[in-house]
Amino acid sequence: MARVDSLSLGIALAVLHAAHAARAGACPPAAALSGDADAVRAVRDQLDARGIADETPRCPAVRARIERRGAQLVVGIERPAGAGIERSVGEPATAATVIESWVRSDLAAPLLEVRAVPAREAEPAAPGASPPAARGIQLFAAAETSVASDRTVWQGMQLGVCIMLGPICGAARLHGGKVIGRPDGWDRFARKGGGLYAGVDVPIALGRIRLTPGFAAGYGMMLTHHVGDSEDTGVEISGPRADAHVALAIPLTSHIALDLSTTAELTQATGMETHGGAPDAAIAFPDEPRALFRIAIGVRYGER
């Protein structure tokens, strides 16, 4: 029994000795101050209250020099590697805080710890969301080339305006042109014509580009005369018109776009009028074409 008690006592003494050695080996946070005596005393009192010990031969300490420069206290921290650091403060308590931030790694470490920033989740797009359609008033002008069903080739231009009415656009167009390419048998004739149209366009946003299909109806005329005669003489054929068209607007600036369009048009002759006297009955004037296919390139201006 005495042997067991002796063994227990030996174990307890060993545990107490190890605990004492562990406590003796741990160094408290410490700071060694130098400089202006009154300032050092005031800062030392602040550090003692915060558990920051003075320098001892066994434990290393952060070295700080405190100087008074006018109304300011200048705290200089010595660093073994690299240049020292100076901070100007207004009172001893703030000077003690500066020194404590260098002494206590347990205070600075959480602030300096690298934390991963969670990735921001992209906000889902609203179902069916698309770029806004065109707004306000659109003005457009284009040069156009047409091929007619009578094998003539036309050159001309078109002017137009489109007023947005909700998702659709009320449009008006003015076409004008003349024949520049003639088939066999047309050597003695020249022809010009024009028409005014009104209809509906439907702008569709494709990213920044806008595709605009539409249709229109109107009234037009063609005047045919002999080559060499006045352009105000000849035979005028007129009648209703109808077309289907599609335009592609490619933005160049916030208000100007390159406008590309194609048009398929049907014509009907319901009236004929002679200008400058009756035409020579021996000369047959060519009939009006029943269809035209146009391509045009121009610019479109308006709010997008």
For 83-135, the pLDDT digits (tens) are 678 888 888 888 888 888 878 755 544 444 444 545 555 455 555 444 444 56
The domain defined by 137-302 folds into Porin (2.40.160)
The mean-pLDDT minimum among 109-113, 194-198, 283-287, 289-293 falls in 109-113
**Which of helix, strand or coil describes residue 8?**
helix
Maximum Cα–Cα distance across the chain: 154
CA separation, residue 72 to residues 65, 92, 108 (Å): 14, 10, 25
* CA dihedral of residues 100, 103, 106, 108 (deg, nearest 10): 70
**Mean pLDDT value of segment 184-195:** 86
| pLDDT at residue 73 greater than cutoff 90 | no
69 beta partners: 72
Highest mean pLDDT among 10-24, 39-53, 63-77, 240-254 belongs to 240-254
What is the residue whose two structure tokens read 């990213």? 207
Residue 2 pLDDT exceeds 50: no
- Picking from 258, 261, 245, 253, the residue whose alpha carbon sits closest to that of residue 300 is 258
Which pLDDT value is given to residue 112? 42
Multiple choice CATH, 29-110, 1.20.120, 3.30.70, 3.30.160, 3.90.1200: 3.30.160
More confident position, 17 or 226: 226
Give the best-scoring range by mean pLDDT among 9-13, 33-37, 293-297.
Answer: 293-297
pLDDT of residue 198: 96
CA atoms within 13 A on the CB side of 300: 29
pLDDT of res. 127? 52
Averaged pLDDT score across all residues of the chain: 80
Give the helix/strand (H/E) hosting 168: strand 168-181
Phi, psi of 168 (to 5 degrees): -115, 170
- Identify the band that residue 277 occupies on the pLDDT scale cut at 50, 70 and 90: low
Give residue 217's pLDDT. Answer: 96
SS (H, E, C) 80-101: CCCCCEEEEECCHHHHHHHHHH
* pLDDT (average), residues 216-243: 87
Residues 48-59 have pLDDT tens digits of 888 888 887 777
Same topology between domain 29-110 and domain 137-302: no
What pLDDT shows up at residue 56? 79
pLDDT at 150 over 50: yes
User: Could you give the CA distance from residue 187 to residue 191 in angstroms, rounded to a whole number?
Assistant: 11
Pairwise CA distance, residues 103 & 99, whole Å = 6
Q: How confident is the model over 62-90, as a mean pLDDT? A: 82
SS3 category, 78: coil
234-275: pLDDT as tens digits: 888 899 999 999 999 999 998 999 999 999 999 998 888 887
φ/ψ bin of 192: left (φ > 0), alpha (ψ from -120 to 50), beta (otherwise): beta
Using alpha carbons only, how large is the chain's radius of gyration in Å?
48
Number of H helices, E strands in the chain: 4, 14
Sequence spans of domains, the chain: 29-110, 137-302
Cβ partners under 8 Å of residue 42, min gap 6: 92
Amino acid at 44: R
